[in-house]
Chain A
Amino acid sequence: MTDIEPDPKAETLEEFKNSFSYGARSDLTFKFLKSLSPEDAGEFFRQLLGEVGRSLDHGEAGPIHQLIFDWQVRGYERSGPSHEYDTAPFVAPAKPVSESKVGVLTSSGHFPAWDDPNPFGVENMTQAEAEARISEFMRDTPTLSAIPIDIDPGDLRVRHGGYDVRSVSHDPDVAFPLQTLIALQAEGVIGELSSPMYSFTGATSQGRLRKQALPGWIRSAQR
């Protein structure tokens, strides 16, 4: 039997799992791996490969999806928010939803093709560049994009360095419920859909959001 000398340049499991979070293997669906211990990350991969192996016979992807979901929950629960409050604000609506004007503001990073917020002065920033500059976004003041509800779907864009935008790139309503609310307005479920709808990139400075951006957004909504 031959002894195998450990390779000092070999990547550790810690380095491997962390590389999915804005590293060499960046994949935002799996960036939760960074929050897991190496032991738990190893367990995730063991279970994942187990489900992949079983799917060769039953052909179903559902158990794989459920496993990824379960471990995402586990990963993010370990990175608790830094902002905690003791009480919840509450104001009762003046009218039923079916008689109310409903507005939408998402943190999904949508914007009209003709009004790109051009973060950091960069024109036509790609999703890949947004991911690469995530730490700068996290220090920046968010820009609110106004999106008219009659926008041509082909003119709706999305860019967000904090999450995997592949799904919303196929269908904005995955996170920006434009078509869903237009249908609910037509059916009278809501009184009126307010135009424009709004969106910003949720990966942003929380202090700048609260102190610099949000007060103006609220004033606009009150007009």
Chain B
Amino acid sequence: MSVGHVARGFEEAGIPTVSVFVRAFRHVAEVMKLPRAVITQHPMGRPLGGPGDRERQRTVIEAALGLFDSATAGGTVVEIGDAWRPGAVNR
């Protein structure tokens, strides 16, 4: 919810925002009516991609940035379908 309140507050003050949520919190983005949100199929605490997975992290950030150019109304939610993949971490 914290992300939602921050995004709503900044947007209401005239600063465009986009938020990233993991799928488990999609309902938060929807009921809080956020300006723009990207949803990832990632486990909690790993919203942008696995550790060291720059390709996935970039995909998510580019999707988020893309909403600044493409969204035409508040409440725009885009879900990225790519399934979670582990990062490169040694045990």
Interface residues of A (CB under 8 A from B): 28-29, 32, 61-62, 65-66, 68-69, 72-73, 75-77, 80-93, 96-97, 100, 102, 105, 107, 142, 163-165, 167-168, 170-171, 173-175, 177, 179-181, 183-184, 189-190, 200, 202-204, 206, 209-210, 214-215, 217-218, 221-222
Q: B80-91 interface mask toward A, CB cutoff 8 Å, 1 = contact, 0 = none?
A: 000110110100
- Determine whether the beta carbon of A142 is less than 8 Å from that of B73: no
B35 & A88 in contact (Cβ 8 Å cutoff): yes
13 contacts between A and B (CB under 8 A): A88-B73, A89-B12, A89-B35, A97-B65, A164-B45, A167-B50, A174-B46, A174-B51, A181-B61, A183-B54, A204-B2, A214-B6, A215-B9
A206 to B87, CA, bound (A): 32
Q: Looking at chain B, what size class is its interface with the partner chain?
A: 35 or more
Residues on B with C-beta less than 8 A from A221 are: 10, 13, 15
Contact between chains at A180 and B61 (CB < 8 Å): yes
The closest CB in chain A to the CB of B8 belongs to: A89
Give, as a whole number of angstroms, the nearest-CB distance from A18 to chain B.
17
Asked if A171 and B43 make an inter-chain contact with CB atoms under 8 angstroms apart, the answer reads no
Task: Please name all residues of chain A whose beta carbon is closer than 8 Å to the beta carbon of B65 when the two chains form the complex.
Answer: 97, 102, 184, 189-190
The 3 closest A-B pairs by CB, nearest first: A88-B74, A90-B74, A171-B51
Nearest residue, chain B, Cβ from A87 = B33
Interface on B for A, CB 8 Å cutoff? 1-6, 8-16, 23-25, 27-28, 31-35, 41-52, 54, 57-58, 61-62, 65-66, 68-69, 71-75, 83-84, 86-87, 89
Give chain A residues whose Cβ lies under 8 Å from the Cβ of B13: 218, 221-222
Contacts of A218 in B (CB 8 A): 9-10, 13, 15
Give chain A residues whose Cβ lies under 8 Å from the Cβ of B3.
107, 202
Name the one of B31, B71, B73, B83 contacting A84, with C-beta atoms under 8 angstroms.
B31
The contact of A170 among B2, B11, B52, B58, by CB within 8 Å, is B52
Task: Report yes or no: A107 in contact with B2, Cβ–Cβ below 8 A.
Answer: yes
8 additional contacts, CB 8 Å, given A80-B31, A173-B54, A174-B50? A65-B86, A75-B24, A83-B31, A165-B45, A171-B50, A173-B57, A214-B9, A222-B15
Residues of A near B8 (CB, < 8 A) are 85, 89
Given A66-B83, A83-B5, verify A170-B51 contact (CB < 8 Å): yes
Chain B residues near A91 (CB-CB < 8 A)? 11, 14-16, 35
On whether the beta carbons of A77 and B24 are closer than 8 Å, the reply is yes
- Most chain A CB inside 10 Å of its own CB: which residue of B4, B16, B34, B48: B48
Contact call B5/A206, Cβ cutoff below 8 A = yes
Point out the residues of chain A lying under 8 angstroms from B87, CB to CB. Answer: 167, 170-171, 174
| A209:B49 contact, CB within 8 angstroms | no
Q: Are A184 and B61 also in contact (CB < 8 A) when A81-B27, A171-B87, A177-B48 are?
A: yes
Q: How far is the CA of A62 from the CA of B84 in the complex (A)?
A: 8
